[in-house]
Amino acid sequence: MNATQYSPKNIQQTRARLGEGPCWHQDEQLLYWLDIYNHRVHQFNPATAAHQFFDVGEVVGCIAPAGTNRLIMAQRNRLAFLDTSNGKVTPILTIEDNQADTRCNDGKCDAAGRFWFGSMSTNGPKGCLYRYDPNGSLHVLETGLTISNGLGWSPDNKTFYLTDSPLKTIYAFNFDFESGSISNRQVFIDLTAESFYPDGLTVDSEGCIWSAMWDGWCIIRFDSSGQEMMRVKIPVQRPTSCTFGNADLMTLFITTASVGLSEAEIQNSFYSGDLFSLPSTISGLPTYHFTG
């Protein structure tokens, strides 16, 4: 397998400011994704190209399925449910409401149905990593992060991955599936020599990590030891995240951003903010639901 096998297709021209957080809902066969700064949760049907969005009233950093017609969201400083049958937002709890310079960012559920999400800071290493359990308990798992970002688990549920974007680092932790705890943080992928930044990621069925590179015009696939395997070129400057979807989990859906680009950069990266797809020869892992 090599990068020349992959040709990205523009499947939804939305020109999002900060497209992010793609999430495949296997039961509904729908892709959900975000435009963070426009407060939108998008719903896209790859089979029909049908599209709608929900205005959730404020910044939304990440989502995960939480049953039929329901998503759990980490918004600016709270968790909430979104009913996708009517657009109703139901708050759950507040997070970091006394910190004006932080907000919730990327997240997803583990195989036990626990919702993991991080926060980011515009003023130093104040970000945290959280785990919200189905019993309603909230746990702080990591502190001192700048932008808690792309996260995922190895197929055997023994390793947890977490990105700190400004540090250009993807960490690996030992993961205890039963307790939901992490330990022994180590640098897994060091990108400090690059001009771009690792953003959202997904893990495939072979245990390889696909990381979207902000300002890098590419997605990079790393093997389970952290070695780069290939770079897939994307026709926009700021790919932000990716996830596998469709019934066979063999299509990579990629979100992108236009925020912060100059007019000249937008001309060179005309489809920034759109949604892309890539057919893959490798399947992804299932998207897990919040079970609370």
pLDDT of residue 226: 98
pLDDT, average across residues 276-289: 96
Encode pLDDT of 73-130 as tens digits. Answer: 999 999 999 999 999 999 999 998 778 889 999 999 999 999 999 999 988 899 999 9
> Domain residues of the chain, as ranges?
8-279
- Which entry of 35, 110, 199, 204 is annotated as an active-site residue? 199
Q: Is the pLDDT of residue 1 over 60?
A: no
The H or E element spanning position 264 is helix 263-268
For residue 223, indicate whether it is catalytic: no
Does this model's pTM top 0.85? My answer is yes
C-alpha closest to that of 185 among 168, 204, 205, 170: 170
Q: What is the second-level CATH architecture of the domain 8-279?
A: 6 Propeller (2.120)
Degrees to nearest 5, angle at CA 16 with 10 and 18: 115
Encode pLDDT of 184-209 as tens digits. Answer: 999 999 999 999 999 999 999 999 99
Encode pLDDT of 210-226 as tens digits. Answer: 999 999 999 999 999 99
Number of neighbours of residue 269 by Cβ within 10 angstroms:
19
pLDDT of residue 132: 98
